[in-house]
Structure 1
């Protein structure tokens, strides 16, 4: 046994898929597997000797480091294994999801540390952990398990998703390629995708989250209704606002967001009913829509008002007072 000093990750050989490729990448971000050799085989005796096994072996037993999801009785989802994090993720896990559920927070922490994110809190890690599952890992779980993205026939196909890109690394029927080398290429591609997503969320999405949170905390100081928030910096806000409303039982509370675009250019933006929707909770008044400058000022009686969009989902003013007044007046209609 002396010669088995190297740590080993076992997975199956033959055609590889995104889930075990990504699972292997994630495992190699952990201290205990960072130099591990990946053994690709279906030979049970060889798999027995591996320190951890993913996507093969028909056993799911975290206490023995066995992470397969193909067995008939396997029904686990992110939410069934991590019920404390809510119940919204009910797609059956693939080996990627299984490894992510068990090791994901540490994977995230290690990658962030390697990229100089030194002061990240455990609360922020938790946010990133959920975000990465929702926007990257869940897709891999769903595709591996044949869960369609929608009912019926889709209007178009997405052939550039991570799983499709991994599939194309497999040696094709008419071209002999080194399977192991192709597996490694696929692994570095999914690794880059994982890291890029994580760094984007950590460097752009998280700081925006803080700005929106501060604005929500201070809403009562902006206007007595508590329905107007002021963003101290222009940043992506919709998704954060909806998540904060949900977590604080304030669903549908906020109607308008005001923020500075440039020094003499302020915006009042109507909050939509859903982050992606064009329908707003409360549009700007009908008689303001599609007019600007003097004409608008005459109609709305706000000296600094500068424009109102024809649909009424956004307006502008030359000062903070003007933008706030536009929001306050709109609440009354």
Structure 2
């Protein structure tokens, strides 16, 4: 044990950021199995090889990663100007910015994945979709100016429940910290596994669908996914990579494996928006089955959601006809390559 490098963080109430920071460090060969020393005693922290979320110092050259001092204003973009994110970093973000690629590489190796490009892709993806949220919550950054509801089931909230409550006796704080460490670590690793094994391989199918879109309709506004894959983020990224005009692709047809029917889905204006580039016709919204088939004059209709962002048809041909008629009703002009 004495030969192992020590990770230092504060004792007392813990938060998601230092829990995640400690978990991430332990993924590195340097700190694998390192004891975590939880203290605010400067003399004890000085004995640690790396310190997170305590100590009042941010100095990567000295392995000190606190973000609470008044002088601290670092964001991902100030440390790495090639990145766009400008939310103030927590201890989790600091460790991620400095060690994130090595951490992801080590987790992928557990699953026998060696892929340098994927490491680079996931480095951005995991910050944007995982670590950034923790940075924001820890630093009190609201998700929106005018919130219509609160999100109370996020990872940071769930970690807080591991802290001993005021009316709970005989709960060991360090045991609870380690339980939170395992909990956060599983969620972090599961996210990486999903992106590596499910999300990233889908890109090939989305690119194929985009390249073949003019075979479906001369407008180029419809793509077909032969199997249901996660497509939104890939579509937006590929549009940029392939220089496809903004908003040209408006609809997706995807097979529903359970019912063996076809879903028609409106492409949103961005990955996280509920606003569509082009919604399904308002006169179809909220209708189902025969009523919808009669109204649209298209056989096999199943439904169109009341908000017009999704619908269904029993056959691929029927789904395609629904989307072509929607384009026609909206005066979307056809064009050839």
Cα RMSD between the aligned structures? 3.2
- Structure 2: any 5+ residue segments left out of the alignment? 330-337
CA distance in 2, matches of 1:285, 1:33: 57
Match in the other structure for 1:107: 103
**Match for 2:249 among 254, 279, 283?**
254
The 8 Å contact of residues 288 and 296 in structure 1, kept in 2 or not, is answered as: no
Instruction: State the distance in 1 between where 2:70 and 2:40 align.
Output: 18
- Stretches of structure 1 that go unaligned for 5 or more consecutive residues are none
Contact 1:297 1:305 in 2 (8 A): no
The farther-off stretch of 247-256 and 148-157 is 148-157
Aligned-residue offset at 1:274: 4.3
Normalising by structure 2, we get a TM-score of: 0.81
SS in 1 for 2:227: coil
Structure 2 residue aligned with 1:166, among 153, 159, 163? 159
**Farther off after superposition, 135-144 or 317-326:** 317-326
- For residues 105 and 226 of structure 2, the distance between their equivalents in structure 1, rounded to whole angstroms, comes to 29
Would you say the 8 A contact 2:284–2:292 is kept in 1?
no
**CA distance change for structure 1 residues 322 and 189 in 2, over 3 Å: closer, same or farther?**
closer
Q: Which moved more, 1:148-157 or 1:126-135?
A: 148-157
- Equivalents in 2 of 1:120, 1:295: separation in Å? 50
Deviation at 1:318, TM superposition (A): 5.3
* Deviation of 1:95 (Å): 0.5
Within a 5 Å distance, the mapping from 1:302-317 to structure 2 comes to: 306-307=301-302, 309=304, 311=306, 313-314=309-310, 316-317=312-313
TM-aligned CA deviation for residue 221 of structure 1: 4.0
Partner of 2:93: 97
Verify the 8 A CA contact 2:67 2:89 in the aligned structure 1. Answer: yes
Counterparts in 2 of 1:294 and 1:107: CA distance versus 1, 3 Å: same
Give the structure 2 partner of residue 24 of structure 1. Answer: 22
Match of 2:5 among 7, 13, 25: 7
Correspondence 1:191-270 to 2 at 5 A? 191-246=185-240, 250-261=245-256, 265-270=261-266
2:34 & 2:219 partners in 1: Cα distance?
58
Question: What corresponds to 2:335 in structure 1?
Answer: none
Cα deviation digits, residues 270-304 of structure 1 (max 9, x gap): 3233445555333445676647569848965x6x6
**1:277–1:170 CA distance, 2 compared to 1 (3 A):** closer
Aligned partner of residue 84 in structure 1, secondary structure: coil
Change (3 A) 1:296 1:179: closer
TM-score by length of 1: 0.82
| Mean Cα deviation higher: 274-283 or 235-244 | 274-283
1:181 aligned residue (172, 175, 195): 175
